[in-house]
Structure 1
C-alpha cells in the first residue's frame, strides 16, 4: 500500500513539474513585449485581439499605423496615463514601469502584438 501511495505522489509531482516546464517553455516562446505586458498588469485592461476595459492591442496598432510619433505618444500615455482617446475610462499611469519596459511593450503593440 505504501508503494502505491509513493507511486501516486511521484506521478503527481512529475505531472506538476511537466506542467511548470511547459508553462515556462510557452513563456520563453512569447515575445518580450507580451512578457512585459503580462508582468505589469497591462492584460487586466487590454487583450491582444478584443476590447476589454481598454482597446485591444491590435486596435491600437491599427489606429497608430504609419504614425511616426506613435512610439513616443504611446510611451508617454503608458507612463503618465490619460483619458479621452478611447472613451471615458481613464488609463492609469504606470510610473513604476521602466522606460525600457514601456518601449518594449509599445514596440510590440505597434507591431500588432504578434504571438511569436
Structure 2
C-alpha cells in the first residue's frame, strides 16, 4: 500500500510540474498594433517617418540596413527596385509573400496602412547607392 501511495504521489508531482502555462503573447498569429509615428518626434530625432515606422514594427527582426539576416538587407532591396515599384513593395509589406528573395516567406502585416507601408518603402529606397 505504501508503494502505491508513493508512486501516485510521484506521478502527481510529475504531471503538475510538466503542465505548461499558455502565454497569449507567444502566439505567432497575433497581429501587433500598427506603429504610429508622431511627426514631431521623428523630425526632432533626425529620422524619417519611414525609419521610425520600421523601428516601431517587427521589421528589424528579419532585416538589417546593410546585411542579410532572414530576409534581404534594405540596401539590397533599394538596389533592386525603383520608385516605380513603390506600390508593389508597399503591398508586399502588407500582404507578405515569398519567392523574390528565396523560399523563406515574408510575414504579412495586414494591420499596416498603405500610407505607412509607402513611407517605409520610401525610406528603404532612399538607401540606394
Is the TM value for this pair above 0.5?
yes
Deviations 1:11-69 (A, max 9, x none): xxxxxxxxxxxxx89x722221111001111111111111010000010000113x62x
TM-score, length basis structure 2: 0.62
Structure 2 residue 62 is the aligned partner of structure 1 residue 31? no
Alpha-carbon contact 2:51-2:123 (below 8 Å) kept: yes
Tell me which residue corresponds to 2:64: 47
Distance of 1:74 and 1:112 partners within structure 2: 15
- Residue number in structure 1 paired with 2:94: 79
Select the structure that is richer in helix. 1
Higher Rg of the two aligned structures: 2
In structure 2, the partner of 1:106 is 121
Report the TM-score when normalising by structure 1: 0.69
Higher relative contact order (CA 8 A, sep 6+): 1
Contact 1:79-1:102 within 8 A present in 2 as well: yes
Which runs of no fewer than 5 residues in structure 2 stay unpaired? 1-40
1:73 to partner: Cα distance: 1.1
CA RMSD of aligned residues (A): 2.1
